[in-house]
């Protein structure tokens, strides 16, 4: 599975959009981009995933560049409860292993 690179930490003002970048320059054609987050002392939580089209759900939007070498997770109106570590993971969609390998992630601090 391809390696991902994320900034170690970011700040965001409450009510503003939080844009979390991820580089995955070695991604291959059948690999999906997943985002999870981990709020302090809890287990990781799935946010969203995508292959090549932009995706949106009730939690966030995922923007994937046309060459698929990078993506951005967007939390449109960040709240204090969005303070967490955000993990960008690339995994082969057709693989039946199912395993997810987590990197170090981005610590997002939402400030009032």
Partner 1 sequence: DAGVIQSPRHEVTEMGQEVTLRCKPISGHDYLFWYRQTMMRGLELLIYFNNNVPIDDSGMPEDRFSAKMPNASFSTLKIQPSEPRDSAVYFCASSLVTEYTEAFFGQGTRLTVV
Residues near 109 by Cβ (< 8 Å), separated by ≥ 6? Answer: 9, 10, 11, 12, 83
Count Cβ atoms below 10 Å from residue 39 Cβ, excluding itself: 13
Q: Is 91 in the site for partner 1 (CB under 8 A)?
A: yes
Q: Is 74 in the site for partner 1 (CB under 8 A)?
A: no
- Two tokens at 6? 């994320």
Q: Is 42 in the site for partner 1 (CB under 8 A)?
A: yes
For the CB of residue 77, give the shortest distance to partner 1 in the complex, in Å: 24
Using CB under 8 A, list all residues that contact partner 1.
Answer: 32, 34, 36, 38, 41-46, 49, 87, 91, 93-94, 96-105
């Amino acid at each position: 599975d391809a390696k991902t690179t994320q900034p170690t930490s970011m700040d965001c003002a409450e009510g503003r959009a939080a844009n979390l970048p991820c580089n995955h320059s070695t991604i291959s054609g059948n690999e999906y981009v997943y985002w999870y987050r981990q709020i302090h002392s809890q287990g990781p939580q799935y946010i969203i995933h995508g292959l090549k089209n932009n995706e949106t759900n009730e939690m966030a939007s995922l923007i994937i560049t046309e060459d698929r070498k990078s993506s951005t997770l967007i939390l449109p109106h960040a709240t204090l409860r969005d303070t967490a570590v955000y993990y960008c993971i690339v995994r082969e969609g057709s693989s039946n292993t199912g395993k997810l390998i987590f990197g170090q992630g981005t610590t997002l601090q939402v400030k009032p």
